[in-house]
Chains A and B, each alone.
Chain A
Amino acid sequence: MWKWLKTLYHRLGSPKWFYQITGSWLPWFAGAAVVFLGVGLVWGLAFAPADYQQGNSFRIIYIHVPAAFLAQSVYIMMAVAGVVLLVWKMKMADVVAQSLAPFGATMTFLALLTGAIWGVPTWGTWWMWDARLTSMLILFFLYLGVIALREALQPQEVAAKACALLAIVGVINIPIIKYSVDWWYTLHQPATFTLTEKPAMPASMWVPLLIMLLGFYALLGWSVILRARAEVLKREYKAGWVKELLQRK
């Protein structure tokens, strides 16, 4: 198993192999995303029971929580790709990191937006300085920073390394920021009830949540592979296999 993973890792470092293998992965990710998201949506919207306190507005959880979860894990993936780029100098890691950034930013925005919409029936306002929403907002700025840095720096290799370093610095800082925001929140707004912290969710509520989460991950794979493949073609234009592929049509 370990050996298999190692070969996979080394092969994915080659743009040609990456392009070919992800091409065959694409339909699987697409199918999984459609199935999981479809089942999760129908189950979450129509079959899961309503919350005894929040009623049906609680169903927004099926978007909000997976989006927030993905937003954080995509940033961590970006930092891991950054380490791979800086330490092992694997260029494909940067292609993946670059493709991850817009998806992560979308997820952060989605978590913020659904949080705001959810806030109206729950708190009676569009925005509240809730600890989770505040850290999401900061994460959103972190994503914008990475994207802006890539736009600003010119030779591609320099932008790649700089973004990798920024993502690593960010991932070290995220727990500190999260901890400090939680501290700040308990200091200023003692114990109003948070959106998603529930005493114990019955299975009929959390199973669709899990399915939605899997669907979001499949969607992540789908979207990132699409972006990465276009980027590989652009960067490897001079390579023989790309020219061959383009001529084949």
Chain B
Amino acid sequence: MYFDSLSDFFNMGGHALYVWSAFAISLLLMLLNIILPWWNFKATRLQLQRQLRREAKQQANSSITEQQGEQV
């Protein structure tokens, strides 16, 4: 390790504010670039599944009414 002690490491030779803020913001933005697409993927899947189910139900309903129409 380049630094003598842990407190030295956190102090960064007086530049702690700049170094740590730069790295913290960077890590946050990188994480966001993984988490947001992941959530988006999940949400898209859920929404499409719901849409699929709705369409299937609609189709079933319309076929029932068609049959009823034929009977009358």
Contacts and interface: CB of A to CB of B under 8 A. Distances in A.
A–B contact with Cβ pairs below 8 Å: the answer is yes
Interface residues of B, number: 30
Given A60-B22, A117-B18, A118-B22, A243 B37 contact: no
A113 B2 CA distance: 26
A243 B59 CA distance: 15
Interface centre among B14, B18, B29 (most CB of A within 10 A): B18
Nearest to A62: B23
Interface centre among B3, B22, B38 (most CB of A within 10 A): B22
Contacts of A219: 30, 33-34
Q: Is the interface of B mostly helix, strand, loop or mixed?
A: helix
A110 B28 CA distance: 10
A46 B34 contact: no
Interface string B1-42: 111000001001111001101110110011011100110110
A15 to B, nearest CB: 14
B52 interface: yes
Given A46-B1, A234-B48, A226 B25 contact: no
Given A233-B45, A247-B52, A49 B2 contact: yes
A51 to B, nearest CB: 10
Contact of A57 (B19, B33, B44): B19
B15 A56 contact: yes
B49 interface: yes
Contact of B44 (A103, A109, A233): A233
A46 to B, nearest CB: 5
B61 to A, nearest CB: 19
Contact of A41 (B21, B23, B38): B23
A112 to B, nearest CB: 11
Nearest to A117: B22
Contact of B2 (A46, A57, A223): A46
Nearest to A216: B30
Given A50-B2, A59-B12, A233-B45, A243 B52 contact: yes
B40 to A, nearest CB: 5
Contacts of A226: 34, 37-38, 40-41
A120 B18 contact: yes
Interface centre among B21, B26, B52 (most CB of A within 10 A): B26
Interface of A: 37, 41, 45-50, 55-57, 59-60, 63-64, 67, 99, 102-103, 106, 109-110, 113-114, 117-118, 120-121, 219, 222-223, 226-227, 229-230, 233-234, 237, 242-243, 246-247, 249
Interface of B: 1-3, 9, 12-15, 18-19, 21-23, 25-26, 29-30, 32-34, 37-38, 40-41, 44-45, 48-49, 51-52
9 contacts: A46-B3, A56-B14, A64-B22, A118-B18, A219-B34, A223-B33, A230-B44, A234-B48, A246-B49
